[in-house]
Amino acid sequence: MAAMFYGVDVTDMNIRQINALFRKHDESHLWPVCGRFNATERAIRHLRKIMRCNGETGGFEYAYMLDEEIGFIVNGEN
């Protein structure tokens, strides 16, 4: 089963490729959170910290975590 984000199958992508895909389609600069930061960049940095402790993942798992983290930041869910 293909894991699709932005119309692209991310199943076999590595972390750098997924980050590049999300940055390419990022529109958070149009609506900065509280006028202070880019949600996609903050989510990527946060996941890097988490993965240092828990080990790296890639493909669909990482893309899903990144998408969820962006949603948490944008929607203020903690």
Q: What is the pLDDT of residues 50-66, one digit of tens each?
A: 888 887 777 789 999 99
Which residues partner with 9 through β-bridges? 4
Judge if pTM exceeds 0.75: yes
Q: What is the pLDDT of residues 22-37, one digit of tens each?
A: 999 988 777 656 667 7
User: Both tokens of residue 71?
Assistant: 């949603």
Which residues partner with 4 through β-bridges? 9
Residue 71 CA to residue 53 CA, distance in Å, equals: 22
